[in-house]
Chain A
Amino acid sequence: MSNGCQVVNKPLTKNIDMSRPPLDIAAYEKNDGYQSLKTISGGLSPADVLQIVKDSGLKGRGGAGFPTGLKWSFVPQSNGSPGQRYFVVNADEMEPGTFKDRLLMEGDPHLLLEGIIIGAYTIEASVAYIFLRGEYKVSEERLKKAISEAYEKGYLGKDIQGTGFDLDVIVHTSAGRYICGEETALLNALEGKRANPRAKPPFPQVSGLWGKPTIVNNVETLCNLPGIIAYGVDWYQGLSLGKDHGTKLFGISGKIKKPGCWELPLGTSIRELLEEYGGGMQEGLELRAFLPGGGSTDFMLPEHLDVKLDYDEIAKVGSRLATGTMILLDNKTCPVGMIGNLMKFFAHESCGFCTPCRDGLPWVDEIFNEFESGRGTEKDLKILHEHVDYLGPGKTFCALAPGATAPLGSGLKYFAEDFERHIKEKRCPYD
């Protein structure tokens, strides 16, 4: 075990300094990089690694928060002849207000690669695709450089570190569309098809990319793995302050003094994030509400500031930690306008496959346009309320439209007065 156990408390960002290029492979190795592969080659079987990841309690950082080890365990047992399996990285960051995976890929591409190797080894996949957002040009360039360094050093390619395990990592750059972040839509896109989500079951773990067992994990999730393997479960669980384990990237955007992204222990309070790290609201502004984890989460209020940044704690007050990147609404920005902006996004990004989403979201968007121009009515308001149900969980093919109902439903509840004022005053009272 490395003495990193004592010193590493920011495993995701310890190498990141955006004022310089990311560490090259030599510098990365010097800072315990690729240590986990030495641990693995020292005698950890795929089943051993799976058990460690399960024990660590790591939950997916892409939004859903599903336990990573459990997800991996759904891949059928290979009994020595795995056949073709695929490992896929969801690097299609496009959730409104989310800017964490960009930081990891631009700041420390080798950390992601190390995580990919661990994941692919565990499920015995010999090919990994990084499904990267097309706009992330700097990430693309830095990942490709890191990949070629890793091949040269024998961390990728044939018989990695004498384990007999082979892995090729391929960067696939996409060309837009938020829906590609949905894992089955992503698989269709990777196969060269329109990115409509697939029916589940079968789940990708059993029948994914080209019908083969496939795991899709988010960038930040994978960046947790090198530390877990190198320093162990006890170290990992000791990082957090609450019930969930490890650290996480938390971001703040909106009218705060110091917007940014920081790695903090899970279980840190929202107040600490906003006040200590974000420096509080800009002069003359008050916090009105916030979306805790991107555009598909329910609004939370200043009364929730002492809630811990923990999956369960945030769920208790009716929202989701999701991506952990907060969007702040101040008292001089129109909440109806903000929700309207989100609805326009979701309406635009609907893949068009299922009716409630394809037809419902543009209807909602149109009603927000009416409100914005002072023509909103009580009947419109009623239609918006109905759509929270029509587009909710279980009514649509995938989670896109239900995601849209999170800020819509909570916004209608918390900002009822603002909607009423738009109707009565026949204009936006914030203009």
Chain B
Amino acid sequence: MNNNIIATTSARARILTDEEIAEIDHEIDLYPDKQAVGLEALKIVQKHQGWVSDESMLAISKYLDIPISDLEGVATFFNLVYRQPVGRNVILFCNSVSCWIMGCKSMRAHINDKLGVDFGETTEDKEFTFLPVPCLGDCDKAPVMMVGDDLHRNLSKESINKIISEYKTRS
């Protein structure tokens, strides 16, 4: 497991791609200072790389001139910034109160059975990472979850089966 090695010096920064730099530069224009772009940059890198590695952290820190400790403070604060590799599809499963009342517990168990993973885990084939998320704000259609950028409403065991096989075939 070579990801036990923690990259801490800027010499270990990866090189940001031209696309990443272009998108980060676009954000820089929208704010009066570079620190404000930190979170956006983390999200941009994550969009392209799938997650935010130590090497990516160092690259962003260098590019935006934000101390690595400050950037790490932000990266670890926000639950949608992934500091570990995730699967190709991230399932954001709402387990807040309305979804709980509408039976999300058994939906969670079903996904658990179906994919063999629980919250915080990634399937062996790296297709899915299963994460809980606070109230997704679609409570009249509970239970709900997101897969990638898409919201899925009124979940049932049948609809979950269908959703999972759809995302699998997309790969």
Using CB atoms and an 8 Å cutoff, list the residues of chain A in contact with chain B: 93-99, 101-102, 133-138, 170, 172-178, 189-195, 210, 251-255, 259-261, 291, 295, 325, 327-330, 333, 337-338, 341-342, 345, 348-349, 351
Pairs across A and B, CB under 8 Å, 11 listed: A99-B139, A175-B78, A177-B78, A192-B36, A192-B66, A192-B74, A193-B70, A195-B77, A253-B140, A295-B135, A337-B100
- Which of B10-18, B91-99, B121-129, B159-167 participates in binding chain A? B91-99
- Among B35, B74, B133, B135, point to the contact of A95 (Cβ < 8 A): B135
- A327–B135 Cα distance when bound, in Å, is 12
Task: Collect the chain B residues with CB atoms within 8 Å of residue A190's CB.
Answer: 36
Nearest-CB distance from A322 to chain B (Å)?
14
Total residue contacts A-B, CB cutoff 8 A:
135
| Complex contact B36–A254 (CB within 8 A) | no
- Among A173, A192, A195, A253, point to the contact of B139 (Cβ < 8 A): A253
| Complex contact B74–A341 (CB within 8 A) | no
Task: Collect the chain A residues with CB atoms within 8 Å of residue B109's CB.
Answer: none
Chain B contact residues: helix, strand, loop or mixed? mixed
Task: Collect the chain A residues with CB atoms within 8 Å of residue B30's CB.
Answer: 170
Nearest-CB distance from B14 to chain A (Å)?
21
| Complex contact B137–A98 (CB within 8 A) | yes
Given contacts A99-B140, A193-B35, contact A175 B101 (CB under 8 A): no
Nearest-CB distance from B144 to chain A (Å)?
10
- Total interface residues in chain B, CB < 8 Å: 43
Given contacts A96-B97, A96-B134, A261-B140, contact A135 B43 (CB under 8 A): no
Using CB atoms and an 8 Å cutoff, list the residues of chain B in contact with chain A: 30-33, 35-40, 42-43, 66, 70, 73-74, 77-81, 92, 95-98, 100-102, 133-142, 146, 149-151
Nearest-CB distance from A88 to chain B (Å)?
13
Give the nearest-CB partner of A139 in chain B.
Answer: B137
| Complex contact B79–A176 (CB within 8 A) | yes
Task: Collect the chain B residues with CB atoms within 8 Å of residue A210's CB.
Answer: 32-33
Give the nearest-CB partner of A98 in chain B.
Answer: B137
- Among A170, A191, A337, A349, point to the contact of B35 (Cβ < 8 A): A191
